Structure 1
Amino acid sequence: MSASTGVILQDPKSYSVKLQVSETGPTLGTGILVSADGLIVTCVHVLRNGESGSPRIGDTVTVCFPARAGRAAVFAVAELVWLPEGHDDDIACIRTAEPVPSFARPVEALGYTFESLRNRFISYGYRRMEKYHAGVADGVILGEVEAPDGTTLLTEPIQLRSTQINAGMSGAGVLDVERNLVVGIVSEAFFTDSYGKDRDTAWAVNAKVLSLSSLPLELRNEPLPLGHAETPSFDQGLIAQASAAPGHFLEEAPGLLPESIEREPYFQYLNDAYDDDRCKVVGLIGFGGEGKTTIVRHWLDDVLRRAAQPDGVFWWDFGAHPDADQFFDAALRYVTGNRLSAASVSSQGDNMAATVAGMFRRRRFLIILDGLETLQHLQSDEYGAIASGEFRAFLQYMAAPDHGSFLVVTSRAPLIDLAPYTTYQHLAVAPLSVGQGVLLLQRLHITGPIRSMERLVTQWGGHALTLTLLAGYLLRRYGGDCRHLTTLSIPHRHSSQGAKLKAIMSQYDACLTDTERGVLVQCSVFRIPLNSQLVHRFAAEYGSKAAAAETVGYLMATRLVRPIGAEYLSVHPTIRDYYVQDAKKDAEKFARLHEVALRHYQIRLASLAPAESLEQLVPAIEAVHHACGSGEYALALELVEDRLYQGTTAFITNVLNAYDTVLAARSEFFPQGRWELDPMAPDDSARAWILHEVATSLQLLGRPREAAGIFRRALAAFEHREDWHMAAVTCQNLAELYLRLGALAVCDGLVSKCFALAQQADDREDELVAETLRGALLYLKGEGVDALVCFRNALTIAEEATPLPFLYSSSGLKYAEALLELGQVEEADQVSRMNLRICKEASWHADVVQCRIGLADIALRRHEAGIAERGYVEALAAAKRLSRRDVLVVALLGYGRWLLYDAQPLESEVVLKECIKLAALSGYRLSEIDARVAYSDALLALGEAEHALSELTVAEEIAIEIGYGLAVDRIRLAREGYDAGSGS
């Protein structure tokens, strides 16, 4: 790993917490976790909760550790433990009564501001923005300033410049991105007229105050080293398939409109970033309709006029294709000239994110991802986070240094997952200035006094799409004369931009003809761009062809419908959202609109052979969406089974490995896509199966906690209809999942249930799996001898009742582990080698990797250093090419142990630290405990005995809590070694 890969800052989202009145009460503000024992820093006025007087030592507040990576939010009560007595610094410290959750990450380093002048900062806090309740802020640290009038401060406050700091950000950390140190906490912002002076001014409390307290907190002046970014590991042989001249893929790019405003500051910003080798990703973030796509389209034209061209341009519209799998398939086809596809790469078990990123990184590509908010969480504590783990990994691979490609993203939500990367730049897209707004209106043929136009721009917030709609309204009603603006119903000046947009949409809609409105509504129901001939057909249903052409021409001229390439038309996403939400008010009418779309796709599908690629599946995917929208759930299920799965071949999963797409398709059956509700299906059997497939998809996408709850519902559904075999299989999956998560206490009852269901199903293979699950559970509890009895019972069943008289896949892995633990090395070797052979033949790539790790463990036990090293290195490389986070965690753990065995404690510490982080984030508690034990050994080898003992204690506490007896025994042996001064 080269030093140049150090580009990752402390993550503001990971150390930020939300302070609330109660678990269900309103948000007070933000705090930052500064120690693993629950010490949190915030502002005094946040704790005051709008009341007069000061909070007192011992007062309590509710702390929310927000939901992360599929984990539910955790609430805790915190007590006020420190105030700057006798001073007015707006800072306080609280401490939680209970230990903080393992996924919470404290600030790594606090710092002084001596060298922060003019440095850029980022922050994360719980400020409300319409439906969004958290957000990123960035800006510049302007330096320390004198204390405000009438105050006595321990240290001077810090003045900031930022456009995003608002109510709710108080208590958020100020992270100096140049030094990677948290140097203050946001305390207040200066509010003035939107075009007034000092409108971007804010202040923060100087972190230096904490150094003057009695709290055990250290501040530093030297920068904190940056974390290393992972570069993609993929099959290098695929590079030979790359196209020598891929050209430009601009089919998804909208055409430039003649009235588009040249927004030079944004073009200059993009040019500077594009020419800066240190910058790899730029995110243009702003409200829908602010002009983000137009800015990028203008800038792209400028790039393509340069003498030095990129090797290729790839533009992808996530508004039209809200699916990570489709993106990967299209990108791979583009970069290889259709030589490779998702199907060909997935069949080898390769990680699509790493493969596509690796292929893009090898040359100078310009990649534009438009409308990425369709892949982001927009309503939960995870606001802004990428929902697809694989796509998140792709973005982070592209943010790693040492490559020439450049990524531009447009989104309504901040790219939280890239915020800690110094190679990422967040560009907030603001409304048009008054002058730009006037120019846009003039280009849209609005006439009248300039002063009237300026008032129009100011009243409606300078929002580009809103002004375009206003122009269309004025042209239709008054021939474009802006002096009639007094006839408009104007929202209150402090109304949100969303409210203003909705207001003009409703007034403009009243001016449309029935034909125009009908076409707009019907087109809005379609999720992807439509062939222009189809749009003309919709219009022709209201009259003649000539009238249809006039209608479509008007909708295009007024920008209600926009061209995509030469043949397709699309409704702007914000306008589409308006009409879809409006149509939903009449459920029957909305269902009829979906019926029209469904029939269109059914006609297309009737002439299509079974799909051979993800791209060819798109009509079927859209047909499923519209079948569910029209209430034809039986037909939707038929389309899923016949077109997506293609019967027993399970094409979409076994061939394409497109579990994001499967999850999206299955989610269509749930009201509003909410999994907590019962799926809509024609019968109980279908409902149970839908639940099972959603849970399976979540599990394979690395979202085990979400999967667990839905597996439980699937189990109950199968039991209800007395489908005992599927109930047994579902119970086995659930038990396996809980074993991985370390929820061993729950597993006792589940394993017993597996036996009972196997008996009701009268199925020996179900009994076999139950025996292996009981064996695994006993092994983890530290009851190895009894565990072997269970595994051998399972082996007997395999010999008597199955074609393969062996334990293989996860059963074989657990059996070999138990044998090795009990010292039966030769038998463990035999079991592992047979398992490896079976898994290879079946192309179970994740199991193959784990077999190799097991064989490396055996080699290490035999002190066959060379064999062990090759095994661990090859397994880790292969694990990085997979999409399975649980396998990667195990591979990192094995490699970290090997480095320690090979007397490389410093390198081992780095690997094991990453392993712990990944395991804790994903919820794999068994692996987290094992990694912490190994990490303590590495620390001890480095002479950090106190830190080592601390890690060992944390591991022991977790192991005791979950009943991981095997680890408890190992930790006790390690402690004895520590006492003897020799380590474990």
Structure 2
Amino acid sequence: MSRPPRQAFISHATADDGYVAELESFLRAAGLAEVFNDAASIRPDDAFWPVIQQGIADSELFVCVISAASSASDWVRREVEHARSLGGRVIGLRIDRSPVPPYFAGRDVINFVVGPTAERRIDIDRQNRFTKYAPERLLGRDPELALISDAWKKALRAEAGRPHILTFVALGGEGKTSLVAKWAVDELSAKGWPGCEAAFAWSFYSQGTRDQVAASSDAFLKAALDFFADDDADRAFAAGPAGAYEKGQRLARLVGSRRSLLILDGLEPLQYAPTAPTGSQLKDQGLAALLKGLAQQSQGLCLVTTRYSVPDLKAFRQSTAPEHELKRLSPEAGTHLLTTLGVTGSAQELQAAVEEVKGHALTLQLLGSWLRDAHAGDIRQRQLVKLEEADAEEQGGHAFRVMAAYEASFEREGDAGRRALALLRLLGLFDRPVTADCFEALRQPPVIAGLTEPLFAGRSQEHQVVGFGGWVRRLFGAKERIKYERVSPAVINVALQRLESARLLTVHREAGSGHLLSLDAHPLLREYFARQLREQQPDAWRAAHGRLFEHLCARTNEGDQPTLEDLQPLYQAVAHGCLAGLQQRACEEVYYARIARKAEAYAVKKLGAFGSDLGAVACFFDQPWQRVSPALTEADQAWLLNQAAFRLRALGRLTEALEPMRAGLNAYVARSEWKFAAIAASNLSELEMTLGEVAAAAQDAEQSVTHADRSGDAIQRMVNRATHADALHQAGRRAEALKGFREAEQMQQELQPSYPLLYSLRGFRYADQLLAAPERAAWQAAAAGQHGPAEEAAGHHEVLQAVGQRAAQTLTRGQDERWYSLLV
């Protein structure tokens, strides 16, 4: 058998560094003594060409990573040609669907691309009918449309240094979604998607609120991984328990290996507010991994819209991920928009109206529609809106003023106007498009007072007047009974058509049958009507959410092994139940019993849906992450604080996890639940250690020992002593740490005489403590250039032998399959 080559040389483009790192590890594991990764330390400069030549000459295996980026690199071509001139073995590894470069034409290439190369996949209407948001005419955005077109053409030509991600930043209502949808429809969909292998769109926008505490990428990652999957392994990975970060990385590779168009609309729910200490960074690890991966390597184009800048992409802003601020409409474009909506007046008056609303596209659209419908398009009537009183700092302040005027007009119209207004108010109950079944549930009798009466035809039910008793009832004003019957579907359709014509909502219907699928409105409009209903009709607000809670609980059949999609109606039910004041039922009957599957923690352990689960937990908080609703029992409040802390920690939001974790600990202490208090204090200590707060970690670990001793739980007494000992070790209190580990191991021997040594994480930490002194002595000797006393060296050797024996004993026992779970 021939020996493996001494050295391998990997030629590649910088954009493929992530792939090459994995390849390098694989080659080393295969027995190579050295792997020469040319981009790791050598920049493509003629001054370093002799170093490259020597590296190639010393290598018995030459590997060229073939991708869109390397095919465009003259440096990679030069390395390949030099290797061939030396008679070396050159292996080409094709990792994406870009054409094989000419210098590999007619040669054997190992294809690492799985799946068909010419398959076209298009789905930009799966989630919310994205193409419905493309206006017939888009005014004032020609430069931005040209910018997207230019980026897409460069992607098709595989130009080096081109944009991989284009981000458009603007306030809500400036037309970000309309811009991207219009380009996708006109430039790709209408022309048969030329050059596009895959297109996928997803909207993250929620209710237009300033701060989304627990929005998640879970549903998006699952759907996108399914869509871009090359094989069943990808689909199994999408449905499995891997974390969002790993799924984001996998998705970046799948999307980036094609000429793909990926549209991420309304990213702001997954960002911190700009006022947060972190700025507007992404708080979702999955999206961060996806975007950073695409910024480094992608054959296609990703279009992002958001209200906030994305600092996570700052390093790529001058190269592959430029960010563009979408400016307000110009006076000319705003005037043109008003006139197309049927508004009349002098040029000066029209331009004045544009300036009053600061060129805000949504406000101009609403204003134009209102003037047309209520005042025959007379621009002079805009004074009735009192735009000057709008809060300039409020998101959508001017739009809210116009909606108030629209609302007043509807009220004056009688039944037809009130019916249209009731439909708009229903949309304020949701943070997403309203599905047909939820819409029908709200329209069912009995009437929700203060909300759905206009959707019913009410008539008095005549009392039968019999004798003297009937006359007395009429005389003294006995209340007449009102019998409510739902208005016909035709009447509802007329109202929907009117609202769609005014561009106040979007109606999605099934192709062919015309059956209603869903209703949607701009997030700012939903926010306006949610605020109005919540503040002015609180009883109706709670009753409507209660109706939706009951409906979603009853109609959902999640089955024994539900997917994340199967659980989505239950997550919605939790949100509606909490808004209805039904927190205890939502917690016990839905979240704990059906989503978590009680102690199974199904959603997080089986599906890895930490983000979605955190969204459900957030519903129970009056103030995330500080105060749980007092409508819940004290035990459930403490439990939910720890649920929130655990999920925040798992999602990498470590600083946010501190507050609920400490609050949960205090709640358990107040209830004298010492076992749970010990666990909470131990978790808090480990979190503080991760954040570098060593002194606090040692203090809370000491508390965990105290609580464990009070609980009398033997396992917790042993486990938390080991945690405390490790914290003392990290704090430099070595003697105390050693004493703590010995106490913990003595307890371990009493608990399991057949397993007398600390194992799993506790065993690792003890070994780390034991090895600290020999390691420190080795560094000191290396720095001084001399060895210490022989007696000291002998002592360190004994410690090394003891730790080795511990490891060997643990591994030997770990071969017993029944004992394996104790190792992890």
Structure 2 length normalisation: TM-score? 0.69
Distance 1:835 1:408 in 2: 51
Deviation at 1:841, TM superposition (A): 7.6
Q: 1:506 to 1:336 in 2, by over 3 A?
A: same
Distance 2:815 2:687 in 1: 20
Higher Rg: 2
Contact 2:245 2:289 in 1 (8 A): no
Deviation at 1:762, TM superposition (A): 1.0
Deviation at 1:840, TM superposition (A): 12
Deviation at 1:709, TM superposition (A): 2.9
Q: How does 1:680-759 map to 2 (within 5 A)?
A: 680-759=630-709
Deviation at 1:624, TM superposition (A): 0.7
- What is the aligned partner in structure 1 of residue 228 from structure 2? 335
Cα RMSD (Å): 3.5
Task: Output the amino acid matched with 1:500.
Answer: H
Find 1:666's aligned residue among 617, 623, 635: 617
Q: Deviations over 1:779-831 (max 9, x none)?
A: 33445565444334323333432596553332122122123334423443454
Q: What SS does the aligned partner of 2:329 have?
A: coil
Contact 1:341 1:613 in 2 (8 A): no
Contact 1:772 1:794 in 2 (8 A): yes
Task: Output the amino acid matched with 1:506.
Answer: A
Q: Deviations over 1:509-557 (max 9, x none)?
A: 1112222222211222112212346546647833412321211221222
- What is the aligned partner in structure 1 of residue 356 from structure 2? 459
Q: Which moved more, 1:465-474 or 1:622-631?
A: 465-474
Find 1:825's aligned residue among 788, 794, 800: 800
1:257 is the counterpart of 2:135: yes
Q: Percent identity, aligned pairs only? A: 25
Deviation at 1:561, TM superposition (A): 1.1
Contact 1:808 1:838 in 2 (8 A): no
Deviation at 1:691, TM superposition (A): 0.7
- What is the aligned partner in structure 2 of residue 812 from structure 1? 763
1:504 is the counterpart of 2:402: yes
Contact 2:641 2:661 in 1 (8 A): yes
Distance 2:528 2:810 in 1: 56
Residue ranges of structure 2 left out of the alignment (5+ in a row): 1-9, 18-94, 97-109, 208-214, 411-416, 444-451, 458-486, 511-516, 774-795
Q: 1:264 to 1:804 in 2, by over 3 A?
A: farther
Find 1:296's aligned residue among 180, 191, 197: 180
1:317 is the counterpart of 2:203: yes
Deviation at 1:292, TM superposition (A): 0.7
Find 1:308's aligned residue among 194, 205, 227: 194
**Higher helix share goes to which structure?**
2
Distance 2:112 2:766 in 1: 36
Distance 1:651 1:328 in 2: 18
Q: How does 1:798-877 map to 2 (within 5 A)?
A: 798-802=748-752, 806-822=757-773, 823=796, 824-832=799-807
Q: 1:796 to 1:381 in 2, by over 3 A?
A: closer
1:524 is the counterpart of 2:424: no
Find 1:642's aligned residue among 593, 606, 614: 593
- What is the aligned partner in structure 1 of residue 340 from structure 2? 443
1:247 is the counterpart of 2:122: yes
Distance 1:843 1:350 in 2: 31
Count of residues in Structure 1 that have an aligned counterpart in Structure 2: 619
Q: 1:495 to 1:649 in 2, by over 3 A?
A: closer
Contact 1:286 1:292 in 2 (8 A): yes
- What is the aligned partner in structure 2 of residue 358 from structure 1? 253
Q: What SS does the aligned partner of 1:795 have?
A: helix
Distance 1:563 1:834 in 2: 67
Find 2:284's aligned residue among 372, 388, 396: 388
Find 2:550's aligned residue among 599, 624, 631: 599
Contact 2:218 2:244 in 1 (8 A): no
Distance 1:843 1:352 in 2: 31
1:794 is the counterpart of 2:744: yes
Contact 1:452 1:483 in 2 (8 A): yes
Find 2:456's aligned residue among 529, 536, 542: 542
Deviation at 1:495, TM superposition (A): 4.3
Deviation at 1:373, TM superposition (A): 0.8
Q: What SS does the aligned partner of 2:308 have?
A: coil
Distance 2:148 2:816 in 1: 48
Deviation at 1:708, TM superposition (A): 2.5
Contact 1:343 1:655 in 2 (8 A): no
Deviation at 1:632, TM superposition (A): 0.6
1:410 is the counterpart of 2:324: no
- What is the aligned partner in structure 1 of residue 150 from structure 2? 272
Q: How does 1:92-491 map to 2 (within 5 A)?
A: 240=114, 244-251=119-126, 252=128, 253-255=130-132, 256-261=134-139, 263-276=141-154, 277=159, 278-301=162-185, 302-304=187-189, 305=191, 308-319=194-205, 322-336=215-229, 339=232, 340=235, 344-346=239-241, 351-378=246-273, 379-400=275-296, 402-421=297-316, 422=318, 423-491=320-388
Distance 2:724 2:430 in 1: 50
Distance 2:818 2:244 in 1: 12
- What is the aligned partner in structure 1 of residue 482 from structure 2? none
Q: Deviations over 1:652-672 (max 9, x none)?
A: 11112222222221111111x
Distance 1:508 1:294 in 2: 23
Q: 1:436 to 1:748 in 2, by over 3 A?
A: closer
Q: What SS does the aligned partner of 2:195 have?
A: coil
Distance 1:780 1:381 in 2: 28
Q: 1:704 to 1:827 in 2, by over 3 A?
A: farther
Task: Output the amino acid matched with 1:737.
Answer: L
Contact 1:819 1:827 in 2 (8 A): no
Task: Output the amino acid matched with 1:641.
Answer: Y
Distance 1:458 1:640 in 2: 49
Q: 1:611 to 1:520 in 2, by over 3 A?
A: farther
Q: What SS does the aligned partner of 2:387 have?
A: coil
Task: Output the amino acid matched with 1:795.
Answer: E
Deviation at 1:300, TM superposition (A): 0.8
Structure 1 length normalisation: TM-score? 0.58
Distance 2:287 2:819 in 1: 24
